[in-house]
Structure 1
Amino acid sequence: MGKLEMEVEVKSSADKFWEAISDSATLFPKIFPEQYKSIEIVEGDGKSVGSIRLVKYAEGIPVITVSKEKIEVADAASKSTTYSVIDGDLANFYKNFKASLQIVPKGDGSLVKWSVEFEKASEEVPDPNLIQEFAVKTFNDLDAYLLKA
Structure 2
Amino acid sequence: MGKLVSQTEIKSNGDVFHELWGSKPHHIPKISPDKVQGCDLHKGEWGTVGSVIFWNYVHDGKAKVAKEVIDGIDEKNKTVIFRAIEGDLLELYKSFVATLHVDTKGGNNLVTWTFEYEKRSEDVEDPNSLMDFAVNLTKDIETHHLK
Residue 105 of structure 1: aligned partner: 104
More displaced, 41-50 or 128-137? 41-50
* CA–CA separation in structure 2 for the residues paired with 1:115 and 1:84: 12
Give the residue type in structure 1 aligned to 2:5: E
Taking structure 2 as the reference length, what is the TM-score of the superposition? Answer: 0.93
Deviation, 1:6, is 1.1
Q: What does residue range 125-140 of structure 1 map to in structure 2 within 5 Å?
A: 125-140=124-139
Q: Is contact 1:29-1:37 (8 Å) kept?
A: yes
Residue 22 of structure 1: aligned partner: 22
**SS at 1:50 equivalent:** coil
More displaced, 17-26 or 4-13? 17-26
* CA–CA separation in structure 2 for the residues paired with 1:28 and 1:144: 12
Q: Is contact 1:50-1:70 (8 Å) kept?
A: yes
Deviation, 1:48, is 1.3
Taking structure 1 as the reference length, what is the TM-score of the superposition? Answer: 0.92
**SS at 2:29 equivalent:** helix
Deviation, 1:74, is 0.7
Q: Unaligned 5+ residue runs, structure 2? A: none
Residue 113 of structure 2: aligned partner: 114
Residue 83 of structure 2: aligned partner: 84
* CA–CA separation in structure 1 for the residues paired with 2:25 and 2:112: 20
RMSD: 1.5
Residue 35 of structure 2: aligned partner: 35
Q: Is contact 2:97-2:116 (8 Å) kept?
A: yes
Q: Is contact 1:71-1:82 (8 Å) kept?
A: yes
Deviation digits for residues 83-127 of structure 1 (CA, Å, limit 9, x no counterpart):
110000111000010111110014222001110110001111100
Aligned residues: 147
Residue 7 of structure 1: aligned partner: 7
- Identity across the alignment (%): 37
Give the residue type in structure 2 aligned to 1:87: E
